[in-house]
């Protein structure tokens, strides 16, 4: 049952599911009857009781809006008119929506599939007269052990008496996970065979900080984990104190700790964690839950909403990044033998200019309501950057002619996520307004490895010497040309990476919302001089194993 704890990224990997660090729960497995649909993850610090209720309301409202979607309703009605029963019609259409969401690359969008399944189950329960499991009044120190946990069930948990939650499936960014974090319930998800291994009535310790489950613990183990629980709660209070502080090194170097989002609503979590802005808005979310592309007006409203939530803080919007493992059927992408090396992201957009211009105009219009920046993904050549900027200029001219307000000086940046972009970073920096390093793809492309392939996953690390040199070069080229350089990949939250990034000169760390406070705290423990000394030694090392071993000894 034990998971693999990664101190590098502050997360736990359990059968491919990466989740945030949590607290420790001690209690007993309680029998779960009825519908076994439940998901969960770690704790989001700094939530009050009122904010938990707000989260529940937001999620329930989101479900209401989703089921009221005219397209979803019309598709269900079409099937029923053709003779399909209501239960089957709901199942078919909800499954179709869930499949579209599940094809997303980022976890935030992918986990929306769970919300669609929740809606489907609730509707089917109403139609079939089935009742959901009752979890609002549990015995003290109960540990819920289930296959999956949907938001509607999570919201009804007896938070006073639930010590922890264990599930076989689920994702860290699901709405159930958000609720669990808000309620402060430790959990481990993605444990294969869980419900067959742990039975009702078993005494168990859930160490979600290290991703392990201890059935039938001894008195000594219980005492040990009670002490660890108290220690964790103290650390939680310490992190909460960084909510209103700046991201600043111990010797006063001012940096930024921003958040990554997949929808306008996600910007609220960034604000609740005191984020300095949004370093990456993945706009694919707006395109993936429908059968046709969103209009310019729909996109404008989404970008405007995020900007207003951020109240003047920076919002970097990445233009449509499809292809690879993100297939949107209505956009007509042909099947490719190697889609990650194929017709995707900026390549697709430059060939589909009307679709691209519609998005650019929406972003420009929204820039009148906040500090918005445009970022092009998967840049590999100067021509791509120049063509993208040319389209931005054309869209500006169109809006001027229509008398529509926008920020004339909006910044246009490059997402450095290919080896090519890193190699020509000195050239790109002369024509881009900023860089943002996407370490996930940069690592994969540099190391020529697929992180989802277990046979080569050992190569996938931003701490590989070659990847570190790509990152270092990119940052240095940006600094030399007077532009800011951020990082929106997972490495920005990696505590082993942070001193190196400080030394290289990174100015913005853009991470998941729950990681903002921890990144801010880690930054505060380093001086630039200390980081430089560590970095000098790392750059002399020739293997990733050497680098990791050394960094673990000093971080």
Active-site residues, by number, are 175, 488
Q: Which of 95, 83, 158, 157 is nearest to 123 (CA)?
A: 95
Q: Which of 430, 371, 357 is nearest to 399 (CA)?
A: 357
470 and 422 Cβ atoms separated by less than 8 Å:
yes
Residue 276: which H helix or E strand, with range? none
Q: What is the rounded CA–CA span in Å between residue 358 and residue 123?
A: 36
Pairing of strands 11-14, 17-20: antiparallel
User: DSSP readout, 87-139?
Assistant: HHHHHHHHHHHHHHHHT-SSHHHHTHHHHHHHHHHHHHHHHHTPPPP--SS--
Chain-centroid distance of CA 98 in Å reads 18
Q: What is the rounded CA–CA span in Å between residue 55 and residue 62?
A: 10
Pairing of strands 142-146, 412-416: unpaired
Residue 401: which H helix or E strand, with range? helix 382-401
Q: Which of 392, 490, 489, 466 is nearest to 432 (CA)?
A: 392
111 and 14 Cβ atoms separated by less than 8 Å:
no
259, two tokens: 């958040």
User: DSSP readout, 411-466?
Assistant: -EEEEE-SHHHHHTHHHHTTT-SEEEE-HHHHHHHHHT--TT-TTTGGG--TTSHH
- 408 Cβ neighbours under 8 A, 6+ residues apart: 396
Q: What is the rounded CA–CA span in Å between residue 268 and residue 505?
A: 28
456 and 407 Cβ atoms separated by less than 8 Å:
no
Q: What is the rounded CA–CA span in Å between residue 143 and residue 194?
A: 13
């Amino acid at each position: 049952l034990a998971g693999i704890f990664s101190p590098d990224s502050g997360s736990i990997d359990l059968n491919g599911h990466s989740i945030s660090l949590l607290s420790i729960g001690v209690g007993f497995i309680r029998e779960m009857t009825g519908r076994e649909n439940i998901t969960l993850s770690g704790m989001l610090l700094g939530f009050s009781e009122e904010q938990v209720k707000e989260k529940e309301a937001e999620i329930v409202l989101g479900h209401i809006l989703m089921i009221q979607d005219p397209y979803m309703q019309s598709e269900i009605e079409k099937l029923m008119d053709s003779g399909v029963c209501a239960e089957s019609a709901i199942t078919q259409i909800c499954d179709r929506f869930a499949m579209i969401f599940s094809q997303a690359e980022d976890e935030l969008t992918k986990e929306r599939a769970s919300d669609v399944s929740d809606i489907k189950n609730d509707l089917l329960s109403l139609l079939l007269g089935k009742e959901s499991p009752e979890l609002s009044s549990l015995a003290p120190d109960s540990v819920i052990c289930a296959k999956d946990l949907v938001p509607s069930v999570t919201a009804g948990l007896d938070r006073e008496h639930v010590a922890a939650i264990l599930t076989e499936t689920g994702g860290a960014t699901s709405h159930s996970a958000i609720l669990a974090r808000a309620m402060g319930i430790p959990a481990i998800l993605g444990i294969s065979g869980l419900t067959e291994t742990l039975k009702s009535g078993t005494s168990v310790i859930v160490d979600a900080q290290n991703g392990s489950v201890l059935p039938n613990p001894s008195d000594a183990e219980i005492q040990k984990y009670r002490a660890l629980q108290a220690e964790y709660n103290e650390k939680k209070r310490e992190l909460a104190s960084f909510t209103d502080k700046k991201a600043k090194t111990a010797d006063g170097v001012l940096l930024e700790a921003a958040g990554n989002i997949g929808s306008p609503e996600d910007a609220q979590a960034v604000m609740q964690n005191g984020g300095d802005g949004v370093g990456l808005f993945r706009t694919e979310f707006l395109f993936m839950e429908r059968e046709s592309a969103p209009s310019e007006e729909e996109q404008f409203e989404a970008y405007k909403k995020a900007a207003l939530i951020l109240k003047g803080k920076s919002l970097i919007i990445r233009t449509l990044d499809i292809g690879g493992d993100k297939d949107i059927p209505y956009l007509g992408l042909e099947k490719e033998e190697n889609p990650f090396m194929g017709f995707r992201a900026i390549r697709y957009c430059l060939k589909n200019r009307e679709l691209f211009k519609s998005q650019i105009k929406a972003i420009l219009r929204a820039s009148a309501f906040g500090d918005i920046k445009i970022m092009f993904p998967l840049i590999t050549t100067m021509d791509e950057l120049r063509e993208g900027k040319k389209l931005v200029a054309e869209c500006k001219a169109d809006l001027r002619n229509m008398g529509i307000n926008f920020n004339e000086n909006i910044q246009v940046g490059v997402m450095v996520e290919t080896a090519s972009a890193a190699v020509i970073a000195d050239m790109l920096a002369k024509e881009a307004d900023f860089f943002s390093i996407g370490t996930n793809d940069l690592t994969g492309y540099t190391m020529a490895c697929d992180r989802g392939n277990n046979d080569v996953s050992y190569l996938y690390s931003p701490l590989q010497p070659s990847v570190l040199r790509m990152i270092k070069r990119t940052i240095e080229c940006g600094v030399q040309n007077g532009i800011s350089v951020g990082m929106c990949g997972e490495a920005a939250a990696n505590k082993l990476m942070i001193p190196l990034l400080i030394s290289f000169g990174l100015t913005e760390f853009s991470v998941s919302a729950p990681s903002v406070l921890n990144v801010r705290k880690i930054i505060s423990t380093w001086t630039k001089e200390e980081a430089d000394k560590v970095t000098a030694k790392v750059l002399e090392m020739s293997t990733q194993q050497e680098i990791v071993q050394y960094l673990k000894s000093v971080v």
